[in-house]
């Protein structure tokens, strides 16, 4: 079993997509993460849901958990203000060396090892012409491995 | 909004649960992660789905991605053999300092910051008597924050 047999259609966002729209896509479809495409349709990065969440948390709350404990009522407002009018590109974390992207001939074990290493429960599968074929989620991978 | 208002029932496993059963629970219910309880019913650890997956990948494949690329046909067999008859306790990764567990009065921002920091899209919420109240998933948190 190879990546091209496991790849399924998966929603994507662009670098220029408003960050708030990306967060809504993640939440609205209960996705395990997001595939961010560059201008040529190639995966620029693949983010775990927790990395998307991080974009929306004011830096001072990430730096100081004690601060997060005393800010309560306006959490949703803070969150939306933090995302504001920024695009996905403007909120992206520092680039990871280990991109969750594989070619169609990647083995199941390669995909699993990549997910385990990156902590991203989602792998983008690309065609040889550098366009997106689809994605393999952790759930889909486990379902196949465990024959559920 | 506080953790005790967001907490919902969530399936758990014990330290003595067979690892294969834990993986099946994760995959079968499409869970974002697993809450592992100790003998007293307190969360011993909370694992992201990718950390559960890591338990099932032979160490030599994690160490050497090139090896994972050449092993194909028997992926499911390897995976099941790796989990074998081991319990969750026997397959757990090294203990993290930053446990994804909060008290009922934790704020939404505390929960969000904890998820972002640990990379675990799931937080266990505990009662004052140290028993499990429930859990908040990343999806549930985003749904509330984005008012979906």
Q: Is A120 on the interface with B (CB under 8 A)?
A: yes
Q: pLDDT tens across A59-98, in order? A: 877 777 777 777 755 777 777 777 888 999 998 877 667 8
Q: Give the predicted TM-score (pTM) of the model.
A: 0.90
Model pLDDT for residues B70-114, shown as the tens digit of each residue? 775 577 777 777 788 899 999 887 766 789 999 999 988 899 999
Q: In angstroms, what separates the C-alpha of A7 from chain B's closest C-alpha?
A: 16
Determine contact, residues B123/B115, Cβ cutoff 8 Å: yes
Per-residue confidence (pLDDT) for residue A148, from 0 to 100: 59
- Give the three-state DSSP class for B90: helix
Which superfamily does A3-147 belong to?
Answer: CBS-domain (3.10.580.10)
pLDDT tens for chain A, 148 residues long, are 899 999 999 999 999 999 999 999 999 999 999 999 999 999 999 999 999 998 888 887 777 777 777 775 577 777 777 788 899 999 887 766 789 999 999 988 899 999 999 999 999 999 999 999 999 999 999 988 887 5
CB contact under 8 A, A142 and B48: no
Interface of B with A in 24-53 (CB under 8 A): 24, 26-28, 30, 32, 48-51, 53
Q: Are A42 and A130 within 8 A, CB to CB?
A: yes
What angle is formed at CA A128 by the lines to CA A51 and CA A132, rounded to 5 degrees? 35
Check if A76 contacts B (Cβ < 8 Å): yes
Is the pLDDT at B16 greater than 60, yes or no? yes
Task: Confirm or reject contact between B56 and chain A (CB < 8 A).
Answer: yes
Interchain pair A62, B117: CB under 8 A:
yes
The string of pLDDT tens digits covering residues B77-87 is 777 777 888 99
Alpha-carbon dihedral A3, A6, A9, A13, rounded to 10 degrees: -40
Instruction: List the single residue in B106, B118, B139 with the smallest CB-CB distance to A27.
Output: B139
Any idea which of B7-16, B48-57, B77-86 has the lowest mean pLDDT?
B77-86
Q: Write down the pLDDT at residue A70.
A: 77
Closest CA to A115 of A48, A29, A43: A48
Instruction: State whether B76 and A144 contact (CB < 8 Å).
Output: yes
Cβ–Cβ under 8 Å, residues B16 and B142 = no
Residue A107, chain B, CB below 8 Å: the answer is yes
User: Shortest CB distance from B75 goes to which of A75, A107, A117?
Assistant: A107
Q: What does A93-142 look like in DSSP terms, one character per residue?
A: PSPPSS-SEEETT-BHHHHHHHHHHH--SEEEEE-TTS-EEEEEEHHHHH
Q: What residue ranges do the domains of chain A occupy?
A: 3-147
């Amino acid at each position: 079993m190879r990546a091209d047999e496991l790849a399924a259609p998966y929603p994507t966002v662009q670098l220029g997509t408003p960050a708030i729209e990306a967060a809504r896509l993640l939440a609205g479809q209960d996705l395990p993460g997001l595939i961010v495409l560059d201008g040529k349709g190639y995966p620029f990065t693949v983010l775990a849901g927790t990395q998307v969440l991080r974009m929306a948390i004011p830096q001072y709350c990430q730096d100081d958990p004690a601060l997060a404990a005393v800010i309560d009522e306006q959490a949703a407002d803070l969150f939306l203000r933090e995302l504001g009018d920024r695009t996905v590109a403007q909120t992206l974390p520092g680039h990871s060396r280990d991109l969750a992207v594989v070619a169609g001939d990647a083995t199941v074990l390669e995909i699993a090892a990549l997910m385990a290493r990156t902590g991203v429960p989602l792998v983008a599968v690309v065609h040889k012409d550098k366009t997106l074929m689809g994605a393999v989620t952790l759930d889909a991978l486990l379902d196949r491995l465990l024959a559920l």
